Amino acid sequence: MTRGYGTGDEYGTPRNPSQYDDRTRELPADQQQDPYGRQQFAAGRATPPGTTAPPVNAARLWSGGVATAIVAALIGLVGVLIARALPKVEFLGPLASGPLGSGQTAVLCLLAAAAALAATGLAHLLLLSTPRPLAYFGWIVGLCTVVAVILPFLGTSDLGVKLASAIIYLVIGIAIGSLVTGAAVSATGGRAASR
């Protein structure tokens, strides 16, 4: 009887499966392929094409936004304390009004918290509607921060007050931008960072 081409076996001779290197048995279950060549997806590792996953975990995003609002308000408070204590700048009230200044300090802290919540709302809207949400979010927050830093220099107050205001607004803007971006990435399971 003739031998098979390149096999060393005669036609019709059953082959021993142990002779072959079956590499699919060595692969983890999430990397094996079905008979049609489609990759099997493990839960949480990858999203199969054609399926939709919830785009945003709103509870995670907004809990991060509330935490950011608290941080922003505290940055405003600490900034006022530093501006009034170290260089003796009459920031938000005369020095005789105490370390916290006038009632404008509370207004600054509330505005910083409101800005953080507004940024969270903006991030949520962009995550649901735009192709590269974090790029747009970064530009919007960055430009708003630049405006807030420039505005004190357009007034007639003392140079020390202008510098203190600009520095405090800059730190608040950086904190809001970075913390809300982190909350958005976490709320989308990292998908927002790759879009």
The whole-number pLDDT of residue 83 equals: 82
- At 89, is the secondary structure helix, strand, or coil? coil
DSSP one-letter string for 112-144: HHHHHHHHHHHHHHHHHH-SSHHHHHHHHHHHH
What is the rounded distance in angstroms from the CA atom of residue 168 to the CA atom of residue 111?
Answer: 12
Please compute the mean of the pLDDT values over residues 159-187 and round it to a whole number. Answer: 90
pLDDT in tens, 12-63: 555 565 555 555 555 555 555 555 555 544 444 444 454 444 477 888 899 9
Residue-wise pLDDT for 94-111, tens only, equals: 555 566 667 788 888 999
104, 107, 101, 110: which is closest to 82 by C-alpha? 101
Is pLDDT of 152 > 50?
Answer: yes
- What is the spatial distance between Cα 150 and Cα 173, in angstroms, rounded to a whole number? 13
C-alpha dist (Å) from residue 10 to 6, 16, 18, 19, 21: 11, 13, 18, 16, 21
Instruction: Read off the pLDDT of each residue in 71-98 and give the average, rounded to a whole number.
Output: 76
